[in-house]
Chain A
Amino acid sequence: MSRLCTGLIICLLIGAHVRAQELDIYGYFEPQYMGLYRGSNYYQINSNKLRVDLKSSSIENVEFGANIIYLLYFGKKNWNILDFLPERITSGVPSEIQPLFQLTYKDSFFLDNVYIRLSNSRFALMVGKQQISLGTGYFSNPTDVFNVKDALDPTYEQPGHNAVRMDLFLRPRLSVMALYSPLEMDWQNSGKLVRIKVGLGHFDFSVTGYEMQHTSTDFYTFEITQQRRRLLGVDFVGELLGLGVWAEGAYNFMKQDDDFYEFILGIDYTFESGLYTLLEYHHNSPGKTDHTEYDLNDWMRYFVGETKTISQDQIYGFIQYPVADLIMIGGSTVFSISDQSIALVPMVYYSIFENVDLTLMLNLYVGEEGKIFSSSLGNGGFIRAQVYF
């Protein structure tokens, strides 16, 4: 069904192009070189990513869009996740299932987004594979069940999701969003979301309700459990005492497992010098407070994105300063309050040419073995270029 939709939309796109010759083609090429020191060994995994965006607005109030991603990996493409976990955990994993923990970076070529958007002054309907971003948090978004951010690079673009999305703009700062995310064409198990957003003074508030199928994997047996999950979330963003403030939280009602909740509180400020600072506190109730209790399921669910963090409380900090006209330096840090480990991520950004950016980012883990930011996970970094066309 999704292939049929994709084909239909591409036909419409090409049709629109033939009709009006108004198809915009743009995108970027992104080579990335990533190195990792672990113990006395050095590894590298590199990639070349090409993203081509197609967009047509040749018919009034109708937008067709798509992007195609071609991703090639080279270097060490095969990894076994068990190599990164404490021995007390891996020693209990039967040797016959150890190959199942193999992670392979495969070259890929896919349509990441492909959609039609119909809109007028008060209404928008978007059908197809599309970007979905929810919530006000920077490090994590408790109300966003579609995406899991990379703690070390949280603003990097997220994959597209199949959905039918409708936005109603009732007043200038009052809108309602309804979203249906089909899953195997089963209405009951598909995602259904309603979000109301209202602006009051210098604040924006949102309330989100979502029902979906929740999947969790038992990595000792590789059995998959699915159950109904209902989420009630709220978020706001605004200003208090001159500081930017925001909060985002969600309570999850589970059909079988225990209910859980997650929230984030954040502040930011820009100094006269241009120095930008941001601080967030994140609490994830399924996370653990004692790192000796982290088990195989905790680690694996974290690596595959079934849970957002394995430690319960963390603080995220971000700082950025324009050291020269085209150069920004800064970095981020994640400190796990629960297990007292820390990740440091210094960063340099350089707009080297008009449409060429360079980013250098390091990740330095300072923590004992078995903690979320254990130095035994390896220290490294990457250099990434983005060439826009």
Chain B
Amino acid sequence: MNRLFISIKIALSVILLFVSGVQLYAQDDMTADEIIQTMTETMNPEQAKGKIKMTIVTTTGQERTFEYNTFSKNQGEKSLMKYVKPKRVRDQAILMLNNADDIWVYFPRTRRVRKLATHAKKQKLEGSDFSYEDLGSSDEFIDEYDAVLHRDEKKQRKVCYKLELTRKPESSAGYSRILMWVDKETFVPLVIDYYHDVDPELWEKELVCGDIELIDGIYTPMKIVMYNKLDNTHTSMEFIEIKYDVDLPDNLFTEMGMQK
């Protein structure tokens, strides 16, 4: 009886998955907001734990490599980064809550925790081409921007939704305008172009996502590269490890969690 119940449950789940999948691909009439919502959900799974290698390439071609452990919860609303390499920043930790509206940095040499104001979101992360804002604001595209859907375009040989996001007048987001190309199959943004805070025509950065793999049922770009068009530098982030099937405790995302 119990086995039969389980079999029915599995069968129902498969049907539901199939139906929802069919709906996903069949909905070519999705609105811009729906696409952004689906993309945000895809890119911000409920929980994640991983190790990232970040490589900064400077204008003169010099490289700086960082490695850090990363943890996120509540679809990226809470995130924690702990540096592993290089030795200079080893054990330094960055806690971001409320989609990076609240940021704390822990300095292990002095055992000091310093809270940063939101303007610090504009600061480069260890001199990279990523700002705190680029890494921490999971819901920013939904809350801070108005989106318009353009005609489909191909990027990396994939058919993509092309979206144009314009910053809402009341928003304090760091970019005035964003263009993005979202893969129609996986809902991963393959390319995101960021435009300057003040000048919406000035192309500031380009984010390119690649090496997309299905991990724990979630499409994951294993390599992300941010090109700074103004400084002619770029920074890549590669997942060394990533797991979504984890249960992270809430107290990991606290001062205590930063120091542990």
Contacts and interface: CB of A to CB of B under 8 A. Distances in A.
Interface stretch (A75-83, A250-258, A264-272, A330-338): A264-272
Nearest to A172: B254
Q: Which of B58, B102, B250, B256 has the most CB of A within 10 A?
A: B256
Interface in A369-389: 386, 388-389
A326 B62 contact: yes
Interface stretch (B31-39, B122-130, B145-153, B160-168): B122-130
Given A122-B256, A124-B256, A325-B62, A131 B109 contact: yes
Interface residues of A, number: 45
B99 to A, nearest CB: 13
Interface string B62-100: 101100000000000000000000111010000000000
Contacts of B127: 322, 325-326, 351
Q: Which of A26, A122, A237 has the most CB of B within 10 A?
A: A237
B88 A268 contact: no
Interface in A269-306: 269-272, 274, 276
Given A167-B256, A325-B233, A355 B117 contact: no
Interface in B114-136: 114-120, 122-124, 127
A354 B64 contact: yes
Nearest to A61: B260
B2 interface: no
B124 A244 contact: no
Given A132-B111, A172-B253, A272 B118 contact: no
A354 B119 contact: no
A133 interface: yes
Given A202-B102, A357-B88, A243 B112 contact: no
B41 interface: no
Given A324-B59, A351-B64, A388-B87, A172 B111 contact: no
B207 interface: no
Interface string A236-248: 0111001111000
B122 A325 contact: no
Nearest to B87: A388
Nearest to A324: B59
B110 interface: yes
A243 to B, nearest CB: 7
Nearest to B260: A119
Contacts of B124: 274, 322
Contacts of A271: 122
B56 interface: yes
A96 interface: no
A389 B59 contact: no
B117 A131 contact: no
Given A157-B110, A326-B127, A169 B119 contact: no
B186 to A, nearest CB: 33
Contact of B65 (A175, A245, A269, A354): A354
Contact of B86 (A242, A244, A326, A388): A388
B109 A238 contact: no
Interface of A: 26, 28, 119, 121-122, 124, 130-133, 136, 157-158, 167, 169, 172-173, 175, 202, 204, 237-239, 242-245, 268-272, 274, 276, 322, 324-326, 351, 354-355, 357, 386, 388-389
List 6 A-B pairs, minimum CB-CB distance, nearest first.
A244-B117, A325-B58, A133-B112, A388-B87, A239-B117, A131-B111
Given A167-B256, A202-B118, 20 more contacts: A119-B256, A122-B256, A172-B251, A175-B256, A202-B101, A202-B117, A237-B114, A237-B115, A238-B115, A268-B117, A269-B119, A270-B119, A324-B58, A325-B59, A325-B60, A325-B233, A351-B64, A354-B64, A355-B88, A388-B88
23 contacts: A28-B87, A124-B259, A131-B110, A133-B112, A136-B115, A172-B250, A172-B253, A175-B255, A237-B115, A242-B117, A243-B119, A269-B117, A269-B119, A272-B174, A276-B123, A322-B124, A325-B56, A325-B60, A325-B62, A351-B64, A351-B127, A354-B65, A389-B87
